[in-house]
Amino acid sequence: MDGNAPVDIEGTINPLAPVAFLDITAKAEGIQLTNLSPYSGKYAGYPISSGRLNVDVHYTLDQRKLSADNHIFIDQLTFGDRIEGPGISHLPVKLAVALLRDSQGRIDVHVPVSGSLDDPHFSVGGLVWRAIGNLIVKAVTSPFRLLASIGGGREDLGYVEFAPGSDVLDAAAQDKLGQVVKVLGDKPSVSLDIIGRIDPSKDESGLRKVMVEDLIHKEQVSAKGDDTTAPTADEQDKYLERAYRHADFPKPKNVIGLTKSQPPEEMRTLMETNMPVDADALRHLAERRANAVRQWLQGKVDDKRLFVQAPKLDPKGIDDAGKTTRVDFGLH
């Protein structure tokens, strides 16, 4: 191809009705991508200024219906300046390339395509480039899902979850962050956005519970000087009673005006009800979650690649099955 890229094609075909059936595999190595600039200009809005392509494809045609898998390996792909003109689509190819290529500047992906020979605008090249365009869009709109699928994983690395009201990274969240670190290590030109979030319907009650537990824990530390040994049930009730007594809110009184003794469940309920949880407290929770992630990543990812964004204070826009009490990630 073009005098410098060896091509190997083999397969089977129906010689009497070639468009009825064929099954072909083909390989080509070292294709100069600058020759494909007309396609990239039309479907992506940018010409290709450099890069080499290896392809390993399998095409089947049955009753004029085409299906194909294109294994594409691209080395050092670089796009030129944006092209303007009627009918030209513009895709964020430069960000997509940064997401798709590895630390050596290589892109290794499978691009499935399908179509019909009865389509008056049928073009194999057009099909392939539209499929690549879809890949680029997915890279920008769902980058972590794409990266996970490329790596053979199923987990969405675009967020880490927190228990309602908590800003503590549990073992599952830390394991996920470890995978994010690996992704960033493979994509050295990409930076990470960190967006703390809260869901008021879950975090308000959760934060009240966490605040009460913190007060109980402080009483344990004050009494024993130990914040690592889990208290017994009796000790838990004792520290709860002390925290209740020291908490600053109106408490039920007995007939002589002293604080009335309450069972543990009632003391806990009264404390949770009177915790000062408002919009500012919830915002601070979202900010603490983002900072917890940033601090965990420090030393593992260059600080210059970490950007804490303004928090989001509701669950709007979450379209996955994960918890709405979380930190979201973005790539740029």
pLDDT values of the chain reduced to their tens digit, one per residue, 332 residues:
878 888 899 999 888 876 778 888 989 888 888 887 887 888 778 889 998 888 888 888 888 888 888 888 889 888 888 888 887 877 777 778 877 887 788 888 887 777 777 776 666 666 666 777 677 777 777 777 766 666 555 578 889 999 999 999 999 999 999 989 988 888 888 899 999 999 999 999 999 999 999 998 898 888 877 666 777 878 888 988 899 888 888 888 876 666 778 898 998 999 999 999 999 999 999 999 999 999 999 999 999 999 999 999 999 999 888 999 999 998 88
Q: Which of 198, 199, 235 is nearest to 216 (CA)?
A: 235
Indicate the SS3 state at residue 54.
strand
Q: What is the reported pTM?
A: 0.71
Rounded CA separation 235/243 (Å): 12
Q: Are 80 and 41 in contact (CB under 8 A)?
A: no
Query: Which residue's entry shows tokens 């190595």?
Result: 29
Q: Tokens standing for 94?
A: 């430069």
Phi, then psi, of 285 in degrees rounded to 5: -60, -45
